[in-house]
Structure 1
């Protein structure tokens, strides 16, 4: 356990940061965008607007946060319309709840704030041995998130006030035991069924479309046989790597950087230690902790008498499974790699010394320092390649902002060509043919960026033949493009798509035949005619649907169970049709944790009540979202 924490320190730090800063991911600095009206409102809540620039800034901030916490994430997902809209949705929700707080004049008292801070495990970890808060470490932790204690505490107070809005509703919702039992029993109810499917594929051989039928089908459905809208484009890319190539390094700057960063550039002192751990978690009882402490004291006396036997004692008694087989050896580690009490004790020892019993969140340690690796400062020449790379990158990042503004201004001010941009910034024009509006998610390149594609296929670009805006396709990367030739979508001639038309017609008619026969059989079997080709009887429940098509499962459980057997049918769309005979209905026989199901049902009811109240607040504060959701592109709320 102790080895795991040391080896995964960065992961643990990240998880701790998440505990403190879950709600501060939607704020950023407004970007520079000359093409759109950045002051235009994309949403209005209680008369307060969320502007395009605020949304863009929040999207960038959330994308950066996600990218930093999940380095391997697909960048296309962060640039997708769905991800961007989810950011706006959270911004709207935050504003609605804030409006509710102000409307109800809710506040969080000082005592509530203090209680919240005391319960935060990360804040608790900053306490000194006397129980007081280490104010300097507290300030440093917040400064790393660009926050002051005042800002952080105001945010926590605001969060507490917002929680009051929804907690009252969710806490008041409850499932009465009788009602809950009925709902759970219904969910687990078993129905014995026999099934027959009329698959469209079984009817294909019956379909022999004539030339006239194919023509008629094409004429009626020609909108299904259109070419894809395409464009030939040229585009220019500005990124940090290109700016780096323009940087000329100064020898004096490199030496100054070396002098200013010697502590960081030099290797840190590392220490090697072995330890004996007696487990005693903070959650353990006082009696168990005292028992563990007594054992640690006894072992300390044993190794003090014979320090040369430390490894044998560790192998025999240490409860750290990672290091005990190695005689307690933890190998070399730098300052800060271990939990604070262990770290402080290890770096206070002289080589060969054994510590007193050290208490940590894991229990009680006895530490023996076995080696010290002193830091060494590499020479300037040894570090030159690294220094040059770091200085070049720093200077390029500073210069990039300046060049990016020139890039953005030029594509706007001279919007009829990319050539002025090329000449001004010494960039290259690239070309692409047959580009489509829909992003190809299998590609990981600039031209699969949905934001850029939207700009390329905008009316301003297609109709007015202008450069697109400067689109940020990745951090420190801007792209502008222009359409050189446009190929609008058009209905393809029958001769071009005849095989496709024929196949589509065959599939449609096969499904229709399957449905027709299925409906006829259902009607006749309901009237008592002998049923044929029914499957063996199977027992199913909503919890265990036994691979039934969802449409049929829904029909089975919608059917009244008063008169059995009962017959139901379901249209499976292009797959055909299915019929089920319900033979019997019985109570659940499977073993289930009803207490857990009650708790889950309670959660669902609370969530439903909260959603209902949230929708009420949306109406009360006259919420308008003026951009369409990607899930319903023709509608904005």
Structure 2
């Protein structure tokens, strides 16, 4: 029984749920999982929905658990990689987007259809039939009510149908697929050479009159934008961390409640003998089962070498009894709580006393430990930092509204707010709108700074959120209106600019003349072509993006083929294609696989484009600071 449950519950969800579900259910999160401090803090806001810190944390832990369940080596560096974290968060965000669109479109799944799907899931079956007992046990293990679970499944099935429906629109005929693959895998032998603009600079003459004329005709380009000097004060969760306190009891409790999170890559292998007492057992049933279990335990203690033999004879867990009670390797949090707590305190070779769970009485033998766990002392500093940050977030949430009200109601000075919340008032240097937007990372704040209320009436700005859990209010100390730079300030720069523009023009003219000659079969032996290289669309062999974008567009029906392009301030780039290979291989199986991959890629692009369109019309805000654990 326990073995059967374990085998069905070691997939994406770290605490055992639905490994074989094809919809990305595990990454989407279920509200009932959102327990623990800080669970409601938003990692991302998706329209009117949020991706909570607990959902994100669950998804990352689920990824670790799936890798372990699939026998992969868990690489913490990979899990900590920003690209991995962003991919997990994007999945969560996309789920929210699709869910909202499905709701808006009025998609519906009947109770009958949902019931048929769940009853057909192998996770809930015994002897090829739906088992209410297994269903209830799995949901109970994960703290889920049937209504919560079914609500989540209904949503995920609808999301899956919408995604599959979009993907099904992508179709590519075999002939077109083969032509496309020939193009995709095409190889070209190419070479390039540069007509350098710098070589023409000695030929260029720019007069003082040319410089003055350019200045007179483009004065708007030489205007200094309006500028301000600001004073500002900032309320941030990060600055509150120093005033927070965390006790040893709080850290220990957090460690105990999140044991699975800190397990490292440790796994344990155990065997057990289960003497069950059934669901809703009476006290008499339990007493009878205990007496039998104590008798078996006495036999085990008398002769530990016979553990496997006694398991085959007495254990009532059909999934493991025939294997001498062997449960295989498993991570912390995979088994039921009582079993888990017992086995992760044992030493290899040790045999436990009776351990009671909802399934009955267990006699456990620990046979192997692989990997390494993390002790409380190993992670104590990280736990302290995380709890400090959670407390700072809570304190920030308490103070944010009062801070916003104070800088608005006492708008003639930032001093009252600074004193009330123990904040510093800081000053800036001269800032343009653009400078200020970059400095504060907020265009909204600078829009307020240059508004009439703030600029002319010398009022505080509103408290503006310039980053996750960070509010700023500013006021103007000094102001400079926009003004033109003098000719003397800019004339040297104008002269250099005009020289380069003329040199680029000469380089282009020469390049285009040479290109015309090459296309007409006239050689130019003075050109210094690079040694030919073989490129594909994936292998640039060191060529620039400009060269790659043009080389595969050149008409190669007549070889050699030539092309050219203006290369920014460098000059003019000449390109040559000497030969082209665009045949598919002879292996029919490989070609078919490539065709299927092309079809899958096209389907994925359809889905990605659809989700992208939803994202563009939805306000998505990401709290980037919560994507990474707080370091001590």
- 1:2-81 to 2 correspondence within 5 Å? 13=14, 20-22=26-28, 58=49, 61=51
Tell me how far apart the structure 2 counterparts of residues 576 and 245 of structure 1 sit (CA, whole Å).
56
2:158 matched to which residue of 1?
161
Q: Give the match for residue 467 of structure 1.
A: 460
Kept after mapping to 1: 8 A contact 2:187/2:536? yes
Query: Counterpart of 2:541 in 1: which secondary structure?
Result: coil
Kindly tell me: are residues 391 and 576 of structure 1, through their superposed partners in 2, closer, same or farther at Cα, counting changes over 3 Å?
A: closer
Matched, 1:597 2:594: yes
Corresponding residue number in structure 2 for 1:294: none
Cα offset, 1:306, TM superposition: 11
Deviation at 1:118, TM superposition (A): 7.9
- CA drift of 1:453 comes to 4.8
Aligned residues: 485
Query: Within 5 Å, which residues of 2 pair with 1:487-566?
Result: 487-488=480-481, 490-532=483-525, 533=527, 534-566=529-561
CA–CA separation in structure 2 for the residues paired with 1:454 and 1:134: 57
Is the deviation greater in 14-23 or in 180-189?
Answer: 14-23
> How far off its partner does 1:137 sit?
4.2
Q: How far apart are 1:179 and its partner, in Å?
A: 1.5
The answer for the alignment partner of 2:103 in structure 1 is 98
* Aligned mates of 2:163, 2:498 — CA distance in 1: 53
Taking structure 2 as the reference length, the TM-score comes to 0.58
Distance 1:91 1:217, change over 3 A: farther
C-alpha separation in 1, matches of 2:457 and 2:120: 61
Shift of the alpha carbon at 1:184?
0.7
Q: Secondary structure at the match of 1:415?
A: coil
Equivalent of 1:404, from 392, 400, 409?
Answer: 400
Q: Which residue of 2 aligns with 1:417?
A: 413
1:203 is matched with 200
Using the TM superposition, give the Cα deviation of residue 340 of structure 1 relative to its aligned residue in structure 2, in angstroms.
5.3
Aligned-partner Cα distance in 2 for 1:64–1:549: 44
Q: Tell me: CA distance 1:189–1:136, structure 2 relative to 1, closer, same or farther (3 Å).
A: closer
Could you list the per-position Cα deviations for residues 468-507 of structure 1 after superposition, in whole angstroms to 9, with x for gaps in the alignment? 2222345654321112223455442232233433333333
Please give the secondary structure, in 1, of the residue aligned with 2:428: strand
Equivalence for 1:430? 426
Q: Find the aligned partners of 2:405 and 2:347 in 1 and give their Cα distance.
A: 63
**Map 1:556-635 → 2, pairs under 5 A:** 556-588=551-583, 594-610=591-607, 625=617
* Cα distance between partner residues in 1 of 2:530 and 2:240: 70
Shift of 1:602: 0.7
One of 240, 264, 280 as aligned partner of 2:253: 264
Alignment of 1:326-475 (within 5 A): 336=332, 343=340, 346=343, 353-354=350-351, 367=366, 401-422=397-418, 427-438=423-434, 447-448=440-441, 452-453=445-446, 455-457=448-450, 461-462=454-455, 465-473=458-466
What is the alpha-carbon distance in structure 1 between the residues aligned to residue 561 and residue 347 of structure 2? 85
Consecutive unaligned residues of structure 1, counting only runs of 5 or more, are: 1-8, 29-52, 79-83, 143-147, 279-299, 308-329, 359-364, 371-385, 630-637
Residues 588, 352 of structure 1: CA spacing in aligned structure 2 closer, same or farther, 3 A cutoff? closer
Deviations 1:128-180 (A, max 9, x none): 9973433674563x5xxxxx653453243123223323422412533222221
In the superposition, relative to structure 1, how do residues 485 and 582 fare at CA in structure 2: closer, same or farther (>3 Å)? Answer: same
Distance in 2 between residues matched to 1:115 and 1:224, nearest whole Å? 66
